[in-house]
Amino acid sequence: MDWTNKRVFVAGHRGMVGSAMVRRLTTGGYTHILTRTRAELDLMDRAAVREFFECARPQLVVDAAARVGGIAANHSFPVEFFLQNATIQNNLLEAAADFGVEKFLFLGSSCIYPKLAPQPIREDALLTGPLEPTNEAYALAKIGGIRLAQYYARQYGRTFLSAMPTNLYGPGDNYDLQSSHVLPALIRKTHEARVAGLPEIVVWGSGTPRREFLHADDLADACAFLLEHYDSPEIVNVGCGEDVTIRELAEHVCEALDYRGELVFDRSKPDGTPRKLLDVSKLTRLGWQPRIGLREGIATAYQWFCEHVAEAP
């Protein structure tokens, strides 16, 4: 099938994942990529979303629109993380089902799995144990989206897919130190410490948790692969298959930015899930592999930070 002639709506196209998705679909030859800014289409507004789907008639949808954030933001704003994500995904899934979308790709997160799931985490670990409290609200919203997509598949025969990305980073990332994820936060802290000649950077938590990091361009490539090669409502993990401790990550960032100061660990901050390495064998068996290694990815993320975020020297 020639997917590239289909009208594909990328919800959340300005975010890190959404912009990577538009880049990947463009290079992949898709000629009808639909996007709407928040001012043009408020995804929280059910009637507006339905009117858009009725008029634009997208044939494919990638839902990269979400309220996202790191451990501190998730822990501080559970109402907004739950309500905004549940509302946006419900509006998109319902309109897609009612206005004939052929294929919908919903994006979940690795935080949907139990805090102490056996590692690496298989897709069938979902709902087998208690969630990590710091991001429970986001996780429950995402689990709701997964289940709604699966209910539409079972009850109405819709081809609605769900991919579970691991921790992501890349161009367009959020570098605000209060709401960002760990990798952009460490890049910013290390950069500013080097510029200011500070003797140390503060790393939240113990440094012992382990995290897996996937570049946003690799996720976008995996999403395009799933759109074109996968039809099942069963969830699919998307990751690189290896993880590092937060201490090792900080050391990689210091090395990449040539910063020689000390790492100070602030144990008053939460560690969150001790580990969430995804079992990515289902996706690799389907024929997909990531391409961007962590060291290369940190270097390109830092370059983007310097060009778009860092204060002019």
* Residues at the site binding ligand GFB, with contacts judged by CB under 6 A: 70-72, 74, 109-111, 135, 138, 167, 180-182, 185, 203-205, 209, 211, 246, 269-273
CB of 72 to ligand GFB, least distance (A): 6
CB of 53 to ligand GFB, least distance (A): 27
Q: Measure the CA angle with vertex 46, ends 38 and 17; round to 5°.
A: 40
Helix (H, G, I), strand (E, B) or coil at 43: coil
CB of 182 to ligand GFB, least distance (A): 3
Structure tokens at 199: 């003797």
CB of 265 to ligand GFB, least distance (A): 8
- Identify whether the C-beta of residue 106 lies closer than 8 Å to the C-beta of residue 61: no
Q: Is the CB of 70 or the CB of 241 nearer to ligand GFB?
A: 70
CB of 198 to ligand GFB, least distance (A): 15
Q: How many CB atoms within 10 Å of residue 28? A: 15
Instruction: Fill in the DSSP letter of residue 311.
Output: P
Which residues does 68 contact at the CB level (< 8 Å), separation at least 6?
Answer: 15, 138, 174
**CA 125 – CA 146 distance, rounded (Å):** 14
**CA 193 – CA 186 distance, rounded (Å):** 10
Beta bridge partners of 11: 63
Residue nearest to ligand GFB (CB): 70
Per-residue DSSP letters for 80-122? HHHHHHHHHHHHHHHHHHHTT-SEEEEE--GGGS-TT--SSBP
Q: Is the CB of 3 or the CB of 204 nearer to ligand GFB?
A: 204
Q: Is the CB of 97 or the CB of 183 nearer to ligand GFB?
A: 183
- Identify whether the C-beta of residue 170 lies closer than 8 Å to the C-beta of residue 153: no
- Identify whether the C-beta of residue 18 lies closer than 8 Å to the C-beta of residue 10: yes
Q: Is the CB of 171 or the CB of 184 nearer to ligand GFB?
A: 184
Which residues are known to be catalytic? 138
Q: Is the CB of 19 or the CB of 167 nearer to ligand GFB?
A: 167
CB of 10 to ligand GFB, least distance (A): 20
Helix spans in the chain (H)? 16-27, 46-56, 71-76, 78-98, 136-156, 182-196, 216-229, 246-256, 281-286, 294-308
Q: Is the CB of 8 or the CB of 168 nearer to ligand GFB?
A: 168
